[in-house]
Chains A and B, each alone.
Chain A
């Protein structure tokens, strides 16, 4: 099946690509060989990450950006992530609702993905799915994270450019100085800028950035701040221009090899972590783990020794 799927995907079969993505998501053994066989064809796509709070307008922005990329003649793949229920394992994947104007465009491929218990804002399968879209020849791949809080910043390991979407009315000034999400933006998008508080939000971000710059030597340019209203389309031209500026700077500053190294590092990490977590969960469900728990209660072992014991099983 590996060769068949690979050939179909390289010929542009949406059906085959969609099937491979599902096999990847399910961590089916068949996915591995096919993905490996596709990797030589990947590496040319530009990866744009879009993250931000739930309800901050990420999907609407993504839809607007897809339209801009298409106007320029780029083909666009999109991975849109929504949360999995920790109780039922089910999910409602609703990002497409805002993107359906592109549903029948042959130059666009949109895939909704559930987190399936992964933290960090992406699913475990996301980096591999990006490889598939890249190998299919999509010029740009947009990854929309699950709605995030403060600390889910895995997107920067994957994307060439990361947009952080903020909206007015969430928290006081100290929120802007906290670590995590506020540090990862290449471009800040202040969406819903028609709402009260938008100017204040912009000043807060500017103040935060003015304090940052001296200490963050790695960042050569301060991130741009763009006010948008994704539903009306206000500010989208400016946002797209800023995305392009960042894209060009990445392409000038980093060789293809450097960018591939970053992606491949993230891909290997994601695969390894996924396996590690699966094995970890299996051992935690085992009888000998229950025995450790009993031993701790009986005072026969300390929690650190018990944890070491658990970790030692992972290497078996």
Chain B
């Protein structure tokens, strides 16, 4: 299905808050930055299960999912989203994450298929650059 799909006019990204933590300032800042960079951003709201986020990503036909986790549960929740996407045959949807995540865990998460992790202090432009590049790559578009 994807090989014959033309590049979209507008990239779509899901910003999700899986698990129990209620700290969504970071998620909202990233959502807003992506909006201002021309993305259509679907925001999930708090306390989502990985299953609900994957279903949402599929129904919304997003290019990528950004997961914001500040509860410490990233090692469980992030790989779970990647795994469910694979099960649904939707692993062309890339996953990135943000939150208070220790250095050691970042390597493990990247090995589990999370494309990038952004930690506190990251400039929003860095996140936007990553998301834009990941979307461009997906449709075989070169960088300007």
Contact = CB atoms under 8 A, between A and B. Distances in A.
Contact of A88 (B1, B37, B61): B37
Contact of B61 (A21, A84, A90, A98): A21
Contacts, number: 105
Contact of B45 (A23, A85, A88, A97): A97
Contacts of B6: 23, 26, 28, 30
Interface stretch (A103-111, A206-214, A247-255, A297-305): A103-111
A4 B1 contact: yes
Interface residues of B, number: 36
Interface in B12-54: 12, 31-32, 34-45, 48-49, 51-53
Nearest to B39: A90
- Chain A interface extent, by class: 35 or more
Interface stretch (A11-19, A65-73, A186-194, A266-274): A11-19
Contacts of A14: 55, 58-59
Contacts of A241: none
B4 interface: yes
B9 to A, nearest CB: 4
Given A4-B1, A26-B9, A103 B31 contact: no
Given A14-B59, A15-B88, A19-B5, A112 B42 contact: yes
B122 interface: no
B40 A91 contact: yes
Contacts of A111: 59-60
Given A28-B6, A91-B41, A100-B52, A85 B1 contact: no
Contacts of A114: 10, 40
A87 B35 CA distance: 10
7 contacts: A1-B1, A14-B55, A15-B88, A27-B9, A92-B41, A94-B42, A103-B52
Interface of B: 1, 4-6, 8-10, 12, 31-32, 34-45, 48-49, 51-53, 55-56, 58-61, 88-90
